Amino acid sequence: MKNHEQTGETPTFVTHLECAMTGARYEADRLHGLSEAGRPLVVRYDLDGLGKALTKDALAARPTGFWRYREFLPVRRAENVVSLGEVETPLIPLPARFAPNVLVKDEGRLPTGSFKARGLALAVSMAKELGLGHLAMPTNGNAGAAMAAYSARAGIRATVFCPADTPEVNVSEIELQGATVWRVDGLINDCGRIVGEGKEATGWFDLSTLKEPYRIEGKKTMGLELAEQLGWRVPDVIFYPTGGGTGLIGMWKAFAELEAIGWIGPKRPRMVAVQASGCAPIVRAFERGEEHAPLWQDAHTVAAGIRVPAAVGDFMILRAVRESGGFAIAVDDEAIIAERDRIAREDGLLLCPEGAATAAAYAAALADGRVDRADEAVLFNCATGLKYPMPPVARTLDHRPPIDWTRF
């Protein structure tokens, strides 16, 4: 497949879908939401066949961007691939702030400026393949923007519900890219309830986090891409900003699939779920040794993307963290903003608040001994910092009178 406009079959190896909780099997190529147990479905592949069909050398010869991993993805027909020119996102050191073995994977380089492009590109492509005409979802901002953009590209109607305090740039870009966006006086779980309750009356399909099987597959490409960038190995530790946790779950799945086809060994990175202290249901459940994370009351944080009071995939996040030998950590808003400002001024990289949370978490974990300075660490910056409020600048200069150069 030389480009995404060709017709014909793509070399996918999907065999079935599986309930993440019970293991019950579901038929592929059919429309599914949650399993009968009310839990997320995950896509399973013929990994033996995949491993025989694709080599590392063949993959290396392809153009960059996550569609190059098409054998690992579920879209069967090339004309259903919905693409907006996705790029491989770089690994960037922060030499002024941290040791050279601390790298930021900057997902803000993707279409619509966030890693939500990965999940929504796959979800919308599968919506097109399955003949859906109307998609709806709750969002804290970036997921809605990505769904709007990819739905517009696919010619699918989109409706988005967001908390009333969602950043204005997100609300505007969602609307501008063709979706109908509604502000809701509540949090993202309240928006999600509206989407779920409206399915029967409106006929829309609920594209909420982990309530359909394919956003995981898109986010999985972060793990595939990271392993390839590191020469088919994994780092010692990954710090991931965790709201719904699709990316953390997806990367954990990617590493298992790569080992199954013999491209990496059994080593796994310690997966660290990073949350804000004002909304930390996963951290609380991790520290209590629980499998599920009850609703967090009065959720608040400057990092809106991780302000998720309850995650449908809570048990999947916690399993990945524990199986990896990782941990869950919460950082306060003051530490988040301090890291954002320091890294921008000293290293020139403008992180989003959620990305800055991973830097704050790394610094805290380094200080308390949960990570070692020698560990190779990857911090995920999930969106461009340009989409978030920044400090105002009031400094002015009148060009007409003589300039007082001592001011500079």
Average pLDDT over residues 376-404: 93
Answer yes or no: do 242 and 326 share one domain: yes
Helix axes 314-323, 246-260, angle to 10 degrees: 50
Query: What distance lies between CA 32 and its chain's CA centroid?
Result: 21
Question: Final residue of a domain: which of 80, 101, 129?
Answer: 80
Residue 15: in which H helix or E strand, if any? Answer: strand 14-19
Q: Who has greater pLDDT, 357 or 10? A: 357
Q: Are residues 229 and 350 in the same domain?
A: yes
Amino acid at 160: V
Does a structural domain hold residue 407? no
Give yes or no: residues 106 and 131 share one domain. no
Does residue 49 belong to any structural domain of this protein?
Answer: yes
Residues 188, 239 within the same domain: no
pLDDT category of residue 369 using cuts at 50, 70 and 90: very high
Average pLDDT over residues 140-144: 94
Distance of CA 57 to the CA centre of its chain: 28
The pLDDT assigned to 12 comes to 82
Domain count, the chain: 3
Residue 4 lies in a domain: no
User: Is 85 part of any domain?
Assistant: no
Q: How confident is the model at residue 11 (pLDDT cuts 50, 70, 90)?
A: confident
Is-contact 399 154, C-beta < 8 A?
Answer: no
Identify the pLDDT of residue 194.
Answer: 97
167-177 as b/e: b if 16+ CB within 10 A: beebbebbeeb
Does the pTM surpass 0.85? The reply is yes
CATH assignment of the domain containing 315: 3.40.50.1100
Q: Phi and psi at residue 244, in whole multiples of 5°?
A: -75, -20
Asked if 192 and 238 sit in the same domain, the reply is: no
Co-location of 382 and 270 in the same domain: yes
In whole angstroms, how far apart are CA 25 and each of 38, 74, 218, 220, 255?
Answer: 14, 16, 21, 20, 22
The pLDDT tens digits for 287-341 are 999 999 999 999 999 999 999 999 999 999 999 999 999 999 999 999 999 999 9
Helix (H, G, I), strand (E, B) or coil at 49: helix
The answer to whether 167 touches 387, Cβ cutoff 8 Å, is: yes
Give the integer Cα–Cα distance in Å for 251 and 50.
18
What SS3 class is residue 106? strand
pLDDT score for 8? 62
Q: What is the pLDDT of residue 1?
A: 37
| Mean pLDDT along residues 120-124 | 98
Place of tokens 């699918």: 156
Do 168 and 54 sit in the same domain of this protein?
no
| Nearest by Cα to 267 from 329, 317, 323, 328 | 323
For residue 285, give the DSSP letter: H
Rounded to an integer, the average pLDDT of 102-111 is 98
Is there a domain that residue 76 lies in? yes
- Flag whether 38 is in a domain: yes
Indicate if 60 and 100 belong to the same structural domain: no
> Do residues 76 and 172 both lie within one domain?
no
Q: Is the pLDDT of residue 2 over 90?
A: no
Domain finish residue from 28, 61, 80: 80
The tokens for 18 are 């599986």
Residues 344, 337 contacting (CB under 8 angstroms): no
Q: How confident is the model at residue 7 (pLDDT cuts 50, 70, 90)?
A: low
**Token pair listed for 404:** 């007082």
| CA–CA distance, 361 with 331 (Å, rounded to integer) | 6
Q: Hey, what are 5's tokens? A: 């406009």
Last residue of a domain, one of 206, 233, 266: 206
Mean confidence (pLDDT) of the chain: 95
70 assigned to some structural domain: yes
- List the domain range (segments joined by +) for residue 69: 14-80
Q: Report yes or no on 167 lying in a domain.
A: yes
Asked if 377 and 248 sit in the same domain, the reply is yes
Q: What's the confidence (pLDDT) of residue 3?
A: 44
What is the percent of the chain where pLDDT is above 90?
Answer: 95
Q: What is the pLDDT of residues 167-189, one digit of tens each?
A: 899 999 999 999 999 999 999 99
**What single-letter amino acid sits at 181?**
V
Please check whether residues 106 and 129 belong to one and the same domain.
no
Closest CA to 311 of 176, 163, 210: 210
Residues 71 and 151 grouped into a single domain: no
